[in-house]
């Protein structure tokens, strides 16, 4: 059973990666933050009794299910929203949310070699953009395997599919990313 400190440390350690994963899926900062917060609350509420070693897999499964729930709710909202949109007055909403910093570079490295820092930032932005172009299941498999470091079996459990499907999605994702980045002049 995970102690309160172990749970808090775990949630702190996965916060940024979970946000980035949700952001890739929903492409909206506010929705991604809500998804991560909901996932963390579900983990803390429902799985406080789970052993600390099992928390990463449980959390990834909760996060993926929360992302799927977001898309289901959005589909229903969009359907009814289009039906009722002619009855509602239009208004423009202010999008003033600041994007979270996604690239952490040490201050001393940035000040010692600005050219290297800028090149790394540029490549990171290209990779970020390329990952966003992947289909949902390929992106999910790629992020779980290479971002989260899960093995094939763990990724299959989180995604709710076979290990062969995970391998196929990851292979297609890496080939697609390599092609996109090669077109942009990035050689990894």
| Predicted confidence (pLDDT) per residue in 74-83, tens digit | 875 665 444 3
Q: Would you say residue 85 has pLDDT above 60? A: no
Residue appearing with tokens 């102690």: 3
Percent of the chain surpassing pLDDT 70: 79
Residue 84 — very low, low, confident or very high, per pLDDT cuts 50/70/90? very low
Q: Is the pLDDT of residue 188 over 50?
A: yes
3-state secondary structure labels for all residues of the chain: CCCHHHHHHHHHHHHHHHHHHHHHHHCCHHHHHHHHHHHHHHHHHHCCCCCHHHHHHHHHHHHHHHHHHHHHHHHHHHHHHHHHHHHCCCCCCCCCCCCCCCCCCCHHHHHHCHHHHHHHHHHHHHHHHHHHHCCHHHHHHHHHHHHCCCCHHHHHHHHCCCHHHHHHHHHHHHHHHHHHHHHCCCCC
- Using alpha carbons only, give the angle 103, 104, 105 rounded to the nearest 5 degrees: 115
The mean per-residue pLDDT over the stretch 158-184 comes to 91
Distance (Å, whole) CA 168 – CA 37? 31
Between 182 and 112, the more confident residue is 182
Mean pLDDT of 153-180: 92
Question: Can you give the pLDDT at residue 78?
Answer: 64
Length of the chain: 188
Q: Within a 13 Å sphere around the CA of 69, how many CA atoms are in the beta-carbon half?
A: 13
- What pLDDT, in 10s, does the model give residues 12-69? 999 999 999 999 999 999 999 999 999 999 999 999 899 999 999 999 999 999 999 9
Within 10 angstroms of residue 184's Cβ, the number of other Cβ atoms is 13
Mean pLDDT of the chain: 81
Residue 22 CB neighbours (<10 A): 27
Examine the pLDDT at 8 and tell me if it is beyond 90.
yes
Domains, the chain, ordered by start: 4-84 (1.10.1740), 114-184 (1.10.10.10)
Mean per-residue pLDDT, 146-158: 89
pLDDT at position 76, please? Answer: 59
pLDDT of res. 102: 36
Q: How large is the average pLDDT for residues 97-108?
A: 40
């Amino acid at each position: 059973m995970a102690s309160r400190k172990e749970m808090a440390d775990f949630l702190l350690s996965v916060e940024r990666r979970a946000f980035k994963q949700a952001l890739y899926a929903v492409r909206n900062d506010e929705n991604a933050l809500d998804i991560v917060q909901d996932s963390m609350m579900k983990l803390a509420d429902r799985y406080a009794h789970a052993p600390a070693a099992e928390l990463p897999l449980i959390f990834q499964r909760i996060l993926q299910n929360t992302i799927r729930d977001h898309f289901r709710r959005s589909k229903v909202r969009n359907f009814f929203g289009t039906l009722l949109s002619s009855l509602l007055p239009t208004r423009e909403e202010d999008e003033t949310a600041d994007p979270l910093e996604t690239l952490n570079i040490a201050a001393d490295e940035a000040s010692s070699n600005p050219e290297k820092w800028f090149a790394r930032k540029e490549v990171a932005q290209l990779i970020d953009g390329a990952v966003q172009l992947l289909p949902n299941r390929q992106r999910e498999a790629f992020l779980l395997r290479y971002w989260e470091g899960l093995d094939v079996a763990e990724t299959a459990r989180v995604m709710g599919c076979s290990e062969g499907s995970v391998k196929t999605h990851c292979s297609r994702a890496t080939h697609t990313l390599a092609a996109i980045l090669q077109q942009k002049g990035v050689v990894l």
